[in-house]
Amino acid sequence: MTDMLLIALFAFLGAAAAGLLGALVLWMLRHRSLAVSLTVVAAVAVTAMLAGTLTVAWAMFLSAHDLSVVTTVVAMAAVVSLATAMLLGRWVAARSRDLTLAARSFGDGGTFDAPAEQANAELAGLTRELAATSAKLESSRERERALERSRRELVAWISHDLRTPLTGLRAMSEALEDGMAADSGRYLRQMRKEVERMNDMVGDLFELSRIHAGSLTLTPTRVSAHDLVGDALAGAHPLAREHGVRLVGDLVEEVPVEVDSKEMSRVMGNLLINAIRRTPADGTVAVAARRSPEGVVLSVTDGCGGIPDEDLDRVFDTGWRGNHARTPPGGAGLGLAIVRGIVEAHAGRAGVHNVSGGCCFEVTLPAVAG
Ligand SMILES: Nc1ncnc2c1ncn2[C@@H]1O[C@H](COP(=O)(O)OP(=O)(O)O)[C@@H](O)[C@H]1O
Ligand SMILES: [Mg+2]
């Protein structure tokens, strides 16, 4: 019994010494390939066994014959386990190299093609994560491209839209300069109109850039939807009269909303101007405000004859003006983009749907208590 305990003790000491040495080697080689580490681990296992056996033999518990038998057995085990460890190590290293190459390809702008074969659960998990990241990266690249495209288009359109009135202004001012204008009063009135239109356009651009830059600071106050709509209707009256369009606002509930009045007036103004311009003479533009489960809904309904279904999603896009020629007089297609930007800054939603004879633009604002 004591012998057995001693044998165990000696074997343990020998194996522990081998283990410590192995740990040191593993630590020194920790930055090398997994194949190296696996080989070291297999070598440590075999060496530990050999060291234990030799210690026991040295303490004279084993005969010379027994020692040679054990050593031979251990040597055979060493050959097999080292070979296994090396094979496994190389295989895992190769799979991980495949993964590295695949990851590099999506970093360089391609998409991530997961290697067909996965070495183990950890690498398979990593592969799944990389695939998810690659998908996210791709969708954000796509968003970026779309944004860049619309920005470029916008710049092109705006330059075009600004050039037209500028050309007119130059022609008129030259005519005035040369004394060629028969009716200089008419020229001057026309010039003022063009300047105002350009001024509005630049104002819209400025507003839109503030919205996009996120620097639109709102000063919300509590106002009644009734007042908001009333002011907007009053502001739109001259244009409606000019177009022979009737403005009605008798379905306006007395509900409170918390909004930046200046920005919301701009929203209502843009919606009303669009509606009046696109409603034929003798038509009606109706403004309403009501409470709904989602909040307070302000709506502007016109008699435009409806917007094609495929265009309904696009009317709020920056610079979108339908299929009409991109020529004045009309806006630059910024009005509804501004509407949506301001409404969303108020945590609201802006939408449009067709109704009989026209379309209905709706702005939903969060309800406030009281
Ligand atoms: N009330 C409306 N009725 C019908 N179509 C509209 C209405 N408001 C806007 N649209 C369509 O949406 C487009 C974009 O509107 P908007 O952003 O205000 O630009 P703009 O008024 O400068 O054309 C318009 O050109 C028009 O085709
Ligand atoms: Mg407009």
Q: How far apart are CA 123 and CA 111, in angstroms?
A: 19
Ligand 1 atom having least distance to the Cα of 337: 17
Same domain for 82 and 105, yes or no, is yes
Average pLDDT over residues 125-148: 89
- Domain stops at, among 213, 232, 262: 213
* Residue 32 alpha carbon to ligand 1 centre in Å: 65
* 203 and 282 fall within a common domain: no
Euclidean distance between CA atoms 320 and 162, whole angstroms: 16
Are 114 and 178 contained in the same domain? Answer: no
Longest distance between any two alpha carbons in the chain, whole Å:
131
Ligand 2 centroid – CA 110 distance (Å): 40
| pLDDT at residue 190 tops 50 | yes
Q: What is the pLDDT of residue 354?
A: 95
How far the first Cα of the chain sits from its last, in Å, is 90
Same domain, 203 and 235: no
- Whose tokens are 């000696």? That residue is 10
Mark whether 351 and 250 lie in a shared domain: yes
Let me know if residue 124 belongs to a domain. Answer: no
H/E element, 297: strand 295-301
Which numbered atom of ligand 1 lies nearest the CA of 331?
Answer: 22
CA of 162 to the centre of ligand 2 (A): 16
What's the gap in Å between 269 CA and the centre of ligand 1? 13
Instruction: For residues 9 and 13, give the distance between their C-alpha atoms in angstroms, rounded to a whole number.
Output: 6
Q: Strands 256-259 and 358-365, how do they pair?
A: unpaired
Ligand 1 atom 13, closest CA: 321
Nearest residue (CA) to ligand 1, atom 6: 274
Considering the domain architecture, whether residues 193 and 246 belong to the same structural domain is answered as no
Look at residue 290 in the predicted model and tell me its pLDDT. 93
Assess whether 112 and 53 both reside in one domain: yes
Give the atom of ligand 1 at the shortest distance from the alpha carbon of 359.
3
**pLDDT in the model for residue 327:** 44
- Same domain assignment for residues 229 and 277: yes
Which residues lie with the beta carbon below 6 Å from any ligand 1 atom? 270, 274-275, 278, 302, 304, 307, 315, 320-322, 330-337, 359
**154 and 279 within one domain:** no
> Is the pLDDT score of 300 beyond 80?
yes
Distance CA 139, CA 167 (A): 42
In the predicted structure, residue 201 carries a pLDDT above the cut 50: yes
Confidence check: pLDDT of 330 > 80: no
> Which residue's C-alpha comes closest to atom 5 of ligand 1?
307
pLDDT higher than 70, residue 293: yes
The domain boundary, picked from 119, 135, 156, lies at 119
- Assess if residue 268 is contained within a domain: yes
Would residue 370 count as lying in a domain? no
- In a domain, residue 137? The reply is no
Domain encompassing residue 278: 221-365
CATH of residue 281: 3.30.565.10
In total, the chain counts a number of residues equal to 370
Question: Same structural domain for residues 254 and 322?
Answer: yes
Residue 141 lies in a domain: no
Q: Mind listing the pLDDT tens digit for each residue in 151-163?
A: 888 888 888 888 8
Residue nearest to atom 25 of ligand 1 (CA): 321
Ligand 1 centroid–CA 358 distance in Å is 12
Q: Which of 119, 134, 167 is the last residue of a domain?
A: 119
Indicate if 156 and 253 belong to the same structural domain. Answer: no
Provide DSSP, 21-65.
HHHHHHHHTTTS-HHHHHHHHHHHHHHHHHHHHHHHHHTT-S-HH
**Do residues 243 and 276 make contact, with C-beta atoms less than 8 angstroms apart?**
yes
Tokens of 138: 């791709």
Q: For 77-118, how does the pLDDT look when each residue is reduced to its tens digit (9 = 90+)?
A: 889 988 998 898 888 888 888 888 888 887 777 788 888 877
Instruction: With cut-offs at 50, 70 and 90, classify the pLDDT of residue 370.
Output: low
Residue 208 and residue 318 share a domain: no
Task: Tell whether the model's pLDDT for residue 323 goes beyond 70.
Answer: no
pLDDT of res. 248: 94
Pocket test for ligand 1, best of 158, 164, 274 (most atoms within 8 A of CB): 274
**Local confidence band at 169 (pLDDT 50, 70, 90 cut-offs):** very high
Residue 200 lies in a domain: yes
DSSP string over 72-119: HHHHHHHHHHHHHHHHHHHHHHHHHHHHHHHHHHHHTTS-----S---
Q: For the chain, what is the domain count?
A: 3
Answer yes or no: is pLDDT of 307 > 50.
Answer: yes
Rounded to 5°, the CA angle 228-231-233 comes to: 105
Q: What is the pLDDT of residue 83?
A: 92
Ligand 1 atom closest to the CA of 323, numbered from 1: 27
Dihedral angle of Cα 83, 84, 90, 95, to the nearest 10 degrees: 170
Q: pLDDT, tens digit, for every residue of 225-278?
A: 999 999 999 999 999 999 999 999 988 888 999 999 999 999 999 999 999 999
